[in-house]
Amino acid sequence: MSDINNRVSAIGVVPVIKLNNPARDAAPLAKALCAGGVPIAEVTFRAAGADEAIRLMKEACPEMLVGAGTVLTTEQVDKAQAAGAEFIVTPGLDPDLVVYCQQKGLPIYPGCTTPTDYHTAYKLGLEVLKFFPAEQSGGLSKIKAMSAPFPMFKVMPTGGISLKNLKEYISNKVICACGGSYMVTADLIDNQKWDEITELCKQSVEIVKEARNNG
């Protein structure tokens, strides 16, 4: 896998973040994630100012791997990359957007849940796919089934992942990392519960380590 893909896999969990107040929350959130051993973030374009949030998180913690999520347009790709984003995540598979990111040297993880998605991703030369929404689309059992005809892919399930099922997912060798918002909920961020975020990250890291050591 590529360097970015390897870094994502090494961490094992990817916080999926919606920031309503980037100027106030981006920097302390970045520090809370890093303190918890999760130096990575997918900042979604579901909220205005996502590019500002990416820039502020990178400034606060240069060692962080920060990417953009819920990316739907080439304009958003450009904004994200200009702000310092190092990877792109999309909710679905848009071949034109994939090619655009590849031309710009940006890793992209498109949402894929069907054999047609996977086959298209194969033709596009992708290595890692976002499986979204994971739980609602069949969860780990479907991911396992899809890996039979498409063993070349690593998968990043997102949607319905929590501390309760993280170990089950991350224990499977098809899974490169799990995306989730349970450690960065609106309540935690809006109420600036940075210590709780750090603690949830630490718990997640322990689960990943235990699952992979036993695997």
Q: With beta carbons less than 8 A apart as the criterion, state whether 158 and 133 touch.
A: yes
Query: Could you state, in order of their start, the residue ranges of all structural domains in the chain?
Result: 3-208
Indicate whether this model's pTM tops 0.95.
Answer: yes
Q: What CATH code is assigned to 3-208?
A: 3.20.20.70
CA atoms of 18 and 187, how far apart (whole Å): 11
**Nearest of 205, 206, 208, 185 to residue 197 by alpha carbon:** 185
Is residue 42 flagged as an active site residue? yes
- What does the block give as tokens for 108? 């992209």
Band of residue 72 on the pLDDT scale cut at 50, 70, 90: very high
**174-186 confidence digits (pLDDT tens):** 999 999 999 999 9
Mean pLDDT score, 83-101: 98
Which residue among 18, 58, 79, 130 is the active-site one?
Answer: 130
Which residue among 18, 42, 79, 86 is the active-site one?
Answer: 42
Is residue 63 flagged as an active site residue? no
